[in-house]
Amino acid sequence: MTGPSNSAAIAARNADNKVESKVLAEVCAYTNLAIATGGGIVTQQKNWSYLHHGLIVWLDVQVEVLYERLKEDDSRPLLQTPDPLGKLQSILQQRQPLYKQADLHIRISAEEPAAMNNYRAQSHTG
């Protein structure tokens, strides 16, 4: 999808990026926090100085798994294209060198969320 609505969505996403950076700057002063960011946070150099206040973890999910999770999500303007899987692959290719700068790299398999849910359910029973 292209056109005015997509342009407006991208403009809104850029505004969101500014808010994410501002929030990250504010919370990085605290300790003992886990902060989950969007994948695009690493694309702005100033965010790295904030991220380095703690341990940076890259949760590496296969592009095909991401696509399955996001294919019905209309709130992601970058994926409103005729080929969202191709767009995800392109985004990952662009960002991967940045992601590789993380302190810890964890590969997540397609089965991982179900396995984690089972673990959590078992650890909270009996």
Predicted confidence (pLDDT) per residue in 11-28, tens digit? 555 667 788 888 888 988
Predicted confidence (pLDDT) per residue in 82-118, tens digit? 999 999 999 999 999 999 999 999 998 877 655 555 5
Residues 6+ apart with CB under 8 A from 104: 55, 56, 57, 58
- What is the average pLDDT across 49-61? 90
Range among 49-53, 63-67, 75-79, 120-124 rated most confident: 63-67
Query: Is the pTM higher than 0.85?
Result: no
pLDDT of res. 37: 87
Give the start-to-end residue ranges of the domains of the chain: 4-123
pLDDT of res. 116: 57
Query: Which amino acid appears at position 120 of this protein?
Result: R
Instruction: Look at the domain 4-123 and name its fold.
Output: Rossmann fold (3.40.50)
What are all long-range contacts of 65-69, with beta carbons under 8 Å and residues at least 24 apart? 65/108, 65/109, 65/110, 68/110
pLDDT of res. 120: 45
pLDDT of res. 13: 57
pLDDT of res. 35: 86
> How far, in Å, CA of 115 to CA of 119, rounded?
6
